[in-house]
Amino acid sequence: MTTRRSTFNWLSPRGGDSSLIRKGRLPKNHYVPKHFAGDLVKKALIALSLAAAATCASAQGQLNIICSVQAEWCNLISTVYARTSGVKVNVSLRGSGEALAQLIAERENPKTDLWFGGTGDPHLQAAEQGLTLEYKSPLLPQLHPWARKQAEDAKYRTVGVYLGPLGFGYNTELLTKKKASAPKTWADLLRPEFKGEVQMANPASSGTAYTMIATLVQLMGEEQAFDYMKKLHRNVSTYTRSGTGPVKSAARGETTISISFVHDVTTEALQGFPVASATPAEGTGAEIGSMSIVKNARNADVARKFYDWALSPGAQQFGVAARQFQLPSNSQTPVDARVPQLKSIKLINYDYAKYGASAERRRLISRWEKEVHALPH
């Protein structure tokens, strides 16, 4: 692919440039924040848009997507795909737990065609419950083994789109004021000086938090993991609905520490917030963000075309363009230097099939609600 030089100005109307809306290139309800519009990003966007247009020009119709990644990424890919394919794309933003609940509720009359992103466990549960459609993309051979394994475990009813390790985010300014050292281990989160200074999401609604529970159970053993979480509860100020809520609170000085995916911390830091990340020395898990086509979708053929596009190297670069730094699943996608280096992280051998099973998820979350969440602070 040849990258062309262009004066294309991908700025938000909030940033003072409404020319793209006037020219009809961006719908009024979509924008890319101004601080995302650096020169390299603009060049990447125009080049990738041209590539997308070449592969999707014949597509037509409508596509209803549940999107479980950050809003900036959802808006960017839906806008580009709509403008380059002619497909009308409707996007609903949902956390992965909420997305699964919606698919269950819509089982008899699906209103959603495709579910993009979010932790892989709920996608595996949707596949197990027969909520998603078997599809073998022609791009499967290009994917990393972990992404193909996700598809195989689900009998090709989902596929890996990206991988992101779990860790901690922390506000460097607040730590300095407290004269406290940054957390480097799971045990560090139990330190007395962090009482009321840790935030994590609620696993009933957040795949991020469920990934933490499953990670601790595999790392420590179930009984020790629940003993640990009971102690951690004393230091947790809030269990948020969304998995990104805690790191946003840490970035804005509302809490000192978040339990988050590392790439979400990087996103906040690049916006100028005083946050940094660490991965626990004892070991940690990682999410395999996934994508699934809904069974009995009204626009299944259109969904398959988007599915193939989303697995392509060109489309996967839109994650970085939206300041999202997960490891892309296509082995041919260039990897940005800000993506976490897996070789420097102690990853456990996470059993995605076991902990992605519906019964296991329900059991662990139910136990957490009864034995941990119900405890007084």
Token pair for 176: 């300095």
Q: Looking at residue 51, what is its pLDDT?
A: 53
pLDDT tens for each residue of 88-120: 999 999 988 899 999 999 999 999 999 999 999
Q: Is the CA virtual torsion 151, 204, 298, 49 positive or negative?
A: negative
Mean per-residue pLDDT, 237-241:
96
- Residue listed under structure tokens 């004269």: 179
pLDDT at 117: 97
The DSSP call for residue 294 is B
Q: What is the pLDDT of residue 313?
A: 97
Residue spans of beta strands (DSSP E) within 267-346: 275-278, 286-293, 327-328
Amino acid residing at 214? A
HEC per residue, 249-266: HHHCCCCCEEEEEHHHHH
- 185 burial class (0-12, 13-18, 19+ CB within 10 angstroms)? middle
DSSP state of 80: H
Question: What gap in Å lies between CA 144 and CA 161, rounded to an integer?
Answer: 10
Q: What is the pLDDT at residue 24? A: 32
Torsion sign (Cα): 207, 212, 216, 218: positive
Q: In sequence order, which ranges of 200-312 are alpha helices (DSSP H)?
A: 207-220, 222-233, 245-251, 262-270, 300-310
Question: Measured in whole angstroms, how far is the alpha carbon of residue 245 from the centre of its chain?
Answer: 13
What pLDDT score does 28 carry?
Answer: 34
pLDDT band at residue 47 using 50, 70 and 90 as cut-offs: low
- Domains, the chain, ranges and CATH? 13-163+288-328 (3.40.190.10), 164-286+343-373 (3.40.190.10)
Q: Provide the residue type at 187 as one letter.
A: A
User: What residues contact residue 343 under an 8 Å CB cut-off, 6+ apart?
Assistant: none
**Residue 132 bridge partners (DSSP):** 294
Read off the pLDDT band of 14 (50, 70, 90): very low
Spatial separation of the C-alpha atoms in residues 34 and 143, rounded to whole Å: 32
**pLDDT grade for 150, boundaries at 50, 70 and 90:** very high
Q: Report yes or no: 76 and 84 within 8 Å, Cβ to Cβ.
A: no
- The per-residue pLDDT for range 329-366, each reduced to its tens digit, is 999 999 999 999 899 999 999 999 999 899 999 999 99
Q: What is the C-alpha to C-alpha distance for residues 326 and 263, in angstroms, rounded to an integer?
A: 6
How many whole angstroms separate alpha carbon 278 and alpha carbon 298?
A: 43
Cβ count near 31 (within 10 Å): 21
Sign of CA dihedral 91, 93, 95, 97: negative
Secondary structure of residue 240 in the 3-state scheme: strand
Burial class (CB in 10 A: 0-12, 13-18, 19+), 155: exposed
In the predicted model, what is the mean pLDDT of residues 25-41?
Answer: 38
List, in sequence order, the alpha helices (H) in 162-203: 172-178
Residues across the chain? 377
Top pLDDT among 240 and 31 is at 240
Tell me the three state secondary structure of residue 201: strand
196/44: higher pLDDT? 196
End-to-end distance of the chain based on CA atoms, in angstroms? 57
SS3 at position 37:
coil
Q: Report which residue type is found at 126.
A: A
